[in-house]
Structure 1
């Protein structure tokens, strides 16, 4: 069994450089997957159980962690309760993958006093949105998670998107995705997907990695254009955007300005804040909230073609 790099989330340590990550061993039918709720309180129960059915129909055993319907304010239980779900799933020798129930907010609180046990066989971690922090923290160990639909969203994905997810976790190469190229040529780098709001609040924390050599893939939901502007301006002023090699832009849904208030559109903000960086940028890619959420492997090598508008993962499992 491979021993993964020891990582301690110490604020005194320099930001670790993102290295190409290794996906866990491919899943096989009959494998056990455990469900956790690391973030917001459960609300979409019908969609949640439909999501479990998607995985079970593929031949996987799916076990729901005890206490997943707990509520502690807007969180799915206290920090300790949610941290215990993550710990139990991570340490379970039979468990091959961890399915996140929903997003919302709260995973960053789990990471405040968290260390991954590196003496276990790596597991798949699958989710997006607020799960961004967990996915980023796993890259510090050299483990690739999956930026992919949550249990509350997977059942409404188009068939090709669901098949793309299973292709990746079962050990097959996935097809490139295409969007609108802004120019800038081609670049190869380490793919780091993120919800923009969550990632912005990770800047300057131990979860943020050195972004040199990274292709940053961003999406968001429910943020007014001025808030998108404010976040991207922070990325610019902090120097974070000067480090990345390319930017892949997914869906920014429900990001319209309030009625009657003068505003740029979110598309204008993205163009203004990202269009002058002198690096390849591709927008309108099919990932994010409120629509098709194509799987993006985290921490693997990828190619971004800013002229043709193509994002392609390089690594074959």
Structure 2
């Protein structure tokens, strides 16, 4: 995997809205956040757009911003402003070879999982992590965000927020090593059968989800199983499955019970409750970097640097 150069003071960070539209003041808040980290924000030409009520501009506009940022050798990172929906609509419009020619950190999560899967196909490490437009960016999120983007050394065992259990819960004990791959469950499932589908063999699959009913989570996990994804992975690290509207009601299983049912028989280590996903205390996970999952200990360890020394 190609590692993008580490970010440093003065690095130029493109702000791109490849999915949903930004709320009022969202772009300005994101620019302030980039400056607070000592970097220079470069707002995409169309990042304040809106189309069809749920897209940040037309497909042509959103693709143009992302394409331009990928091809620009003067940019050091692309930080996606928010998730929502829309990245899948433009994946086939993007010149992905430009990413390998001019490696730069791609940062975001949720719907931007589709971008990360495309980056994996291009052979470049990318970063599943918080978006910059949010009103809050807790210290915990910052303290796991900055090191993986600025320090060309392995991050080691990732920390848990203060006041939490300090570890994930083992669904199946054991240890596994492999490249970190995954993201939002819906996007991982939706890209199956496309040129951007996940390449799961030997990977530590990580997944998160928000706002889905229990039966839909069941369907998504069953889809991964039938597609052979779950039978190919070395281990599974599960983050937040948040805002599940019918969890445990009217005889429906809890998320934990569903995960145990759908995943427990795979014969690989599985742990549930890592701090990433649609939560404030959100880890930044470098996709494509080798990691060790110790389900019994409830830990995830990054074994390789996520960024390269700058030349």
Same fold (TM over 0.5): yes
Matched residues in 2 for 1:175 and 1:314: separation? 6
Matched residues in 1 for 2:278 and 2:133: separation? 11
Contact 1:36 1:64 in 2 (8 A): yes
Which 5+ residue runs of structure 1 have no aligned equivalent?
A: 1-20
Instruction: Name the residue aligned to 2:46.
Output: 67
Deviates more, 1:248-257 or 1:172-181: 172-181
Alignment of 1:87-236 (within 5 A): 87-118=67-98, 120-153=101-134, 156-171=136-151, 172-177=153-158, 178-236=167-225
Give the RMSD, CA atoms, in angstroms: 1.8
Once the two structures are superposed, residues 233-289 of structure 1 have per-residue CA deviations (whole angstroms, 9 ceiling, x without a partner) of 111122211001100000011013189754222221112111111100011000010
Secondary structure at the aligned position of 2:262 is classed as: helix
Contact 1:40 1:75 in 2 (8 A): yes
Residue 82 of structure 1, CA deviation: 0.3
Deviates more, 1:244-253 or 1:266-275: 266-275
Contact 2:171 2:260 in 1 (8 A): no
Matched residues in 2 for 1:207 and 1:117: separation? 14
Q: TM-score, normalised by structure 1?
A: 0.88
Secondary structure at the aligned position of 1:67 is classed as: coil
Once the two structures are superposed, residues 290-312 of structure 1 have per-residue CA deviations (whole angstroms, 9 ceiling, x without a partner) of 33111100111000111111111
Q: TM-score, normalised by structure 2?
A: 0.90
Which 5+ residue runs of structure 2 have no aligned equivalent?
A: 159-166
Instruction: Name the residue aligned to 2:163.
Output: none
Matched residues in 2 for 1:39 and 1:304: separation? 31
